[in-house]
Amino acid sequence: MRGRDLKQALLAGKRVYGIAVEGYGQPRWPRFFAGLGVIDFVFMDSEHSPNNRETIAWAAQCYAAYGIAPLLRIPEISPSQAAMGLDAGAHGIIVPYVETREQVKAMVGAVKYRPLKGKALETALDTGVFPSDATRDYLPGYNPDAFLVIMIESPAGIANLADMLAFGGVDAVLVGPHDLSISLGIPEQYDHPQFIAALDGIIRTCQAHQTAVGMHLIFGTLEDRLAWVQRGFNFVSVRGDTLFIAQGAQHELTTIRSAVEGGEPSGITSDIGAAGHSR
């Protein structure tokens, strides 16, 4: 898929599926992932992962060439960071910790209206008036894959979500469960009634505004993750490279060591830590 295909699929009532890549993987991964036939997009991180602009560009171009839409999480709410990611070849931008309508406005301008800037951009965003009809008609073709995701990770983000989505231009909402649980005062208590109620409220708001919604599914068992998707998610982001590799290595090596050296397998867990971060 390309960014435009993600939009069309979601508008048609379908789900789209992806995984996070913190290290962007070895060069063979895009071809391998494309061959699996189950990955529509990759959630490329540059907020917590030390990837430079050149690395981002190589990875984005490669995933796109193999038909997997590269969506880049930028480090902060920054139009310039978004522009750099799109220039590098990302088909979409994931914006962390969004809490206000003004932040959404700035990111819609950067992602959907580039290369407009300055007063011309402000006028277009505020009034819908462009420098000319030709400019207005030109921008969608210049940005055909521009896919904007905002992350909800705080009570303020939840409280303002309806107002933010009413502005328009947001293609999907992605919940960051780790940060949200902390800002709710219930760190990593993903089965807490307050966390569940918050997620249900986000889903209802997104559905009311016909906006895709998902959560970065990093915790619990496979059955837990499936249950969350069935609860109402259509933008499905499942774990990532760090967790898949760590848990695969943990499971196989623990099982082999126990079988060879005696004793029962121990230490195998379904949750190594939020987004692969050490605790």
Structure-block tokens of residue 261: 């050296």
The helix (H) or strand (E) run that includes residue 148 is: strand 147-152
HSE at residue 103, side-chain half, CA atoms within 13 A, is 20
The CATH number for 150's domain is 3.20.20.60
Going 228 to 164 to 46 to 191, the CA torsion angle's sign is negative
Which pTM value belongs to this model? 0.92
Q: What's the CA gap between 58 and 49, in Å, rounded? A: 16
86 compared with 244, residue with greater pLDDT: 86
pLDDT tens-place string over residues 232-264: 999 999 998 888 888 888 889 999 989 998 866
How many structural domains is the chain composed of?
A: 1
pLDDT digits (tens, 9 = 90+) for 155-175: 999 999 999 999 999 999 999
User: Could you tell me how far CA 190 lies from the centroid of its own chain?
Assistant: 19
Residue 245 belongs to what domain range? 3-276
Residue where the block lists tokens 């894959």 = 145
Q: Are 219 and 210 in contact (CB under 8 A)?
A: no
**pLDDT reported for residue 275:** 46
66: nearest Cα among 118, 23, 28, 19 = 28
Q: What's the number of CA atoms in the CB half-sphere (13 Å) around residue 73?
A: 28
- Tell me what the mean pLDDT of segment 32-48 comes to: 93
